[in-house]
A and B are shown apart, each in its own frame.
Chain A
Amino acid sequence: MALSALVGIVLVWFKRQVLPWIDATTFSGSLMIALGTGVLFMIVLLAVGYGLKIKEINELVNRLREKLRFS
């Protein structure tokens, strides 16, 4: 729960930084904001989860690292 709140704060901060540059009232603007925030969400979630040694996220990160090593 605390992790989610932290992620939320980071995402809101990011959106506030980006919003003045992109018109969120258009389809393409909203899509860009959603994609950017979504990518940041995944990075923050994985980083915080890995840092806090959350088992499920650790397993996911390790699996990704294995796959990247093989490819």
Chain B
Amino acid sequence: MSPSLYKKVGIASIIMMGSIFFSRLFGFVRLMVIAYVGGRGADVDAYQVAFVIPEILNHIVASGFLSITFIPIFSRYLVENQEEQGWKVFSIVLTGFGTLLLLFIVISEAFAPELVAIIARGRPDLNFREQAITMTRIIIPAQFFFFSGGLFMAVQFAKEKFLIPAFAPLIYNLGIIGGGILLSPWIGMQGFSWGVLTGALVGNFALQWWGAKKVGMKFSLTFNFKHPDLKTYTKLTLPLIFGLTMFFSMEIFMKFFGSYLPPGSIADLEYSFRTMLLLVAFFGQAAGVASYPFMARLVAEKKMQEMNQLLNNTLKYLSLVIPFSVLMMVLRNELILILLQRGNFDAEATGHAAGVLTYFLIGAFAIAANTIIPRAYYAMQDTLFPAIYGTIAVILSVPFYLLGLKMMGARGVALAVSLSAILQVFFLYALWNKRSQNKRSKEV
């Protein structure tokens, strides 16, 4: 790598790390505001359930994976000095998948009552259902902004512009916080839903459209389902759509199984899960983001033993999550009180969330390790195996949730999340060791 490229990568890393840090910070402030306004009321449960259909739509068009799927295709045209062709493919993908997404949005809006009834099967309460349906309908259109905004950001990344995309998650979170604070006195939790839509419109769509325009975006409505690059894009995207990731399944299962529990339980799960994620984000995300480029380079240079050494060392570093989890278990009540106990989030709510937090912390190490181990496969350009493995693991984890729900309520659901995470990561690492002949894995 040339020195100027090193400098560019360094600047980009600083911008993205700053963006991740502030996004996490604002994300937690968002949770604090939700706790302040809604406490552990049933309408907070409804607000959480309202995210399930939008999350599924987001997964269907793989909005979160555009850096893996679209950037390589677009970058190839830039390298070959065929930028016009690159914009043509951009238009084809945006038109094709954007239309498909709009179609799904219209269908989901129409069938929101039926879909919410499936997701929140365990909660037949009419007022709860009505709240969840209304908020679902408000949030759903935001998925179009996430997808198109994701493409606008991808072209900026490909052109090595990082500053404007870095603002997307910050403005999105500020939108939710602002919506909640300004509108909740009149419309309660629905204020947050309008904040989601506004944040996505401003941060992910409008701002990124402007950013993409600045790097020369050329868009024209183009339907061409036979274009070879659309086929390549679809081929790359399909395993990601059908592969269920650990995080995706956790988010859905917590709400689905939580609906069978008394009102406030989904809120308990959400507050404690996000608190546990603070620990995972602190150790896991930084290690994952930092080690991935090196893993990819070592694989490219066919230095598998060095790559394994890096993976083993990263996992050893991550084992620090275990004593910190113990610290958080000991201080569970104090932590929840300090972070969330304000406004409508009272001492009783603290007790509930703290109780659930302990069970999430059991699996914190595995959840952190899951930000690293699949990257070893990605570094080998293998997205298919983790996708298939993830889907099988998610299906096999269902009995844990059923048993946990029946025996221990919300705490059981949290324990199921932890146990399934531990088993998923353990077997994925064991399979990796066998495949890559990782001789020093026992050190971990």
Interface positions of A (Cβ within 8 A of B):
1, 3-5, 7-8, 11-12, 15, 24-25, 27, 30-31, 33-34, 37-38, 41, 45, 56
Contact = CB atoms under 8 A, between A and B. Distances in A.
Contacts of B325: 4
Contact of A37 (B316, B320, B330, B337): B330
A67 to B, nearest CB: 20
B431 interface: no
B327 A38 contact: yes
Contacts of B329: 8
A11 B327 contact: yes
A33 to B, nearest CB: 5
B335 interface: yes
A41 B327 CA distance: 7
A27 to B, nearest CB: 7
* Majority secondary structure of chain B interface residues (helix, strand, loop or mixed): helix
B100 interface: no
B334 A5 contact: no
Nearest to B326: A8
Contacts of B327: 7, 11, 37-38, 41
Interface of B: 316-317, 320, 322-323, 325-327, 329-331, 333-335, 337-338, 341, 347
Nearest to A42: B327
A24 B334 CA distance: 7
Contact of B333 (A11, A12, A30, A31): A30
Contacts of A38: 327, 331
A7 B328 CA distance: 12
Nearest to B324: A41
Contacts of A45: 323
Contacts of B316: 56
B331 A33 contact: yes
Contacts of B335: 34
6 contacts: A11-B327, A27-B338, A30-B333, A34-B335, A34-B338, A37-B334
A4 B323 contact: yes
Given A15-B330, A37-B331, A7 B323 contact: yes
Given A25-B337, A34-B335, 7 more contacts: A3-B323, A4-B323, A30-B338, A33-B331, A34-B338, A38-B327, A41-B327
B330 A24 contact: no
B341 A8 contact: no
A36 B331 CA distance: 11
A11 B338 contact: no
**Top 10 A-B residue pairs of the complex, sorted by shortest distance between their CB atoms:** A30-B334, A8-B326, A4-B323, A11-B330, A30-B337, A34-B334, A4-B322, A4-B326, A41-B327, A33-B334
Nearest to B335: A34
A50 to B, nearest CB: 14
Given A30-B334, A34-B331, A34-B335, A25 B347 contact: yes
A8 B399 CA distance: 30
A30 B347 CA distance: 12
Contacts of B337: 24-25, 27, 30
A32 B264 CA distance: 29
Contacts of A31: 334, 338
A34 B341 CA distance: 15
A41 B331 CA distance: 11
A1 B341 CA distance: 31
Contacts of A15: 330-331
Contacts of A12: 330
B323 to A, nearest CB: 4
A17 to B, nearest CB: 13
